Amino acid sequence: MKSRFVCLLAGLTLAVSSLATQAAEVQVAVAANFTAPMQKIAAEFEKDTGHKALISFGATGKLYAQIKNGAPFQVFLAADDKTPARLEAEGDTVPDSRFTYAIGKLVLWSVKPGYVDDQGKVLKKGQFKHLAIASPKTAPYGAAAVETLTKLGLLDSIQPRFVTGENISQTYQFIVTENAELGFVALSQVMVDGQLTGGSSWIVPADLHQLIRQDAVILAKGQDQPAAQALINYLKSEKAKAIIESYGYGF
């Protein structure tokens, strides 16, 4: 009996040790617009695979600069497709690992109910002091906002009222704290489970800016790292796609 117990205990210890050996951490750089869904995906990823995603959020342009300066990221989830493609061309990624994980949507939003109409006419009326926007130099959603205002013929008149955020998260905070009456943010920031969370909004028609195709890629430091490949695979799963879609993204 004692012998059987010892064997059982040894087998259990070996199994736990094996699981610990297989589980690993992956360093992930993630565009700020994808903060909420990535937090949820990371929790499910760890639960389902044992791997842990260590996430750093920021503007895509700034994350690119960090990657080029040697940051230890193994996977990159950008807010566009151009930046991962650039890294790919520069030899900083694992070949054939890049794919589109989401199509982003731009929204004009105010924390005040009824302030933004569903056709965006509030922009033409111009009865506001400040409009929040992410830096178009480093944040693709900021570039999409500038493109939208340009196509509407409103950029020159509204630009002096810009309150510019370093990234889309800071832009959202400008609006929440009412340092700006309204602003352009990612739909994912004001939507949960397919429902808008409050305030008032206008989802910007896709023909007013270039498609916000968001690509993910395994970086060179993720080469031969099982957790990096596991995360990329997980992002393609139906479970992850359902989470992504619940925040207003398309595919």
CATH number at residue 166: 3.40.190.10
Same domain? For 160 and 195 the reply is yes
69 close to 129: Cβ distance less than 8 angstroms: no
Domain of 117? 105-208
Same domain? For 143 and 184 the reply is yes
- The count of structural domains within the chain is 2
Q: What are the average pLDDT values for consecutive 10-residue runs of the chain, which has 251 residues?
A: 46 41 89 97 98 97 98 98 98 98 98 97 96 97 98 98 97 98 97 92 97 98 97 98 97 91
Domain contains 15: no
Q: How many whole angstroms separate alpha carbon 28 and alpha carbon 178?
A: 32
Same domain? For 217 and 98 the reply is yes
Q: What is the pTM of this model?
A: 0.89
pLDDT value of residue 12: 43
Same domain? For 135 and 98 the reply is no
Same domain? For 157 and 241 the reply is no
Neighbouring residues of 148: CB distance < 8 A, sequence distance ≥ 6 = 106, 184, 204, 208, 209
Which tokens sit at 183?
């602003």
pLDDT value of residue 4: 52
pLDDT value of residue 23: 86
Q: Residue 206 burial (CB < 10 Å; 0-12/13-18/19+)?
A: middle
Query: Angle at which helices 82-89 and 60-68 pack, to 10 degrees?
Result: 10
pLDDT value of residue 131: 98
pLDDT value of residue 5: 43
Q: How many CA atoms lie within 13 A of 124 on its CB side?
A: 7
Q: How many whole angstroms separate alpha carbon 13 and alpha carbon 214?
A: 43
pLDDT value of residue 149: 98
Summarize pLDDT for 134-174 with one digit per residue, the tens: 999 999 999 999 999 999 999 999 999 999 999 999 999 99
Using the structure block, give the residue that is written with the tokens 């130099």: 137
Same domain? For 93 and 217 the reply is yes
Same domain? For 149 and 58 the reply is no
- Run of H or E residues at 242: helix 238-246
Same domain? For 161 and 72 the reply is no
